[in-house]
Amino acid sequence: MRSRARFLAIFAALSLVFAACGGDDDPTAGDVTGETAVSETGPTAATGATATGSTGATATGDATVTVADSSFGEIVADADGNTLYVFLPDEGGASTCYDDCEAAWPPLTVDGAPVGDGVDASLLGTVEREDGTMQVTLDGWPLYSFSGDEAAGDTNGQGLNEVWYVVAPDGTHITDAPA
């Protein structure tokens, strides 16, 4: 019974993801073919003191990007152990995931400076989102969590639509199958 409930939850989340991140001609909804203007502020380097962070459209204080072990090797996660992903249409600059896409893939945002715990702080930065919030970046790529991950350490978003990938602490996108 539990596995059926888990399957249904993942199926519902994946349905939302496919609806949110494909086919629409609106590039701000996460379309992989649309063009998006790069933010004038661009990614910036950041440092700061360690504090707990959160994922989602709003956050308070600093955000910590940590290292977690997974079947893909070491990947980055937020302070709560939730897997963080990159979105290939962001092309290493401004976020292109908004509206329905943002609901399925909440950006890791910060009010202060992002902090690395096992991640080189010089690779961390921020980029301004359309609503003025600051999204955490790793090696210039905006970071997101996935609403379909039910628990810390889940990687259910890996490879979805061939545009969402977990990322190594050095900023490398992991596109291969688990080791």
pLDDT in tens, 13-53: 444 444 344 433 333 333 332 233 232 233 333 322 222 33
Q: Is the pLDDT at 157 greater than 60, yes or no?
A: yes
What is the distance between the alpha carbons of residues 47 and 104, in angstroms, rounded to a whole number?
28
With residues binned 3-state (H G I as helix, E B as strand, rest as coil), the percentages for the chain, rounded to 5, are: 20, 25, 55
pTM: 0.70
pLDDT-derived band at 61 (thresholds 50, 70, 90) equals low
Based on the number of CB atoms within 10 Å of its own CB, is 27 exposed (0-12), middle (13-18) or buried (19 or more)? middle
pLDDT tens track for 66-80: 999 999 999 999 999
Domain-wise residue ranges, the chain: 2-31+39-174
**Confidence check: pLDDT of 162 > 60:** yes
Helix (H), strand (E), coil (C) string for 115-157: EEECCCHHHEEEEECCCCCEEEEECCEECECCCCCCCCCCCCC
Q: Is 82 helix (H, G, I), strand (E, B) or coil?
A: coil
pLDDT category of residue 63 using cuts at 50, 70 and 90: confident
pLDDT(6) > 90 = no
Q: Is the pLDDT of residue 155 over 90?
A: yes
- Give the pLDDT mean for 121-135: 96
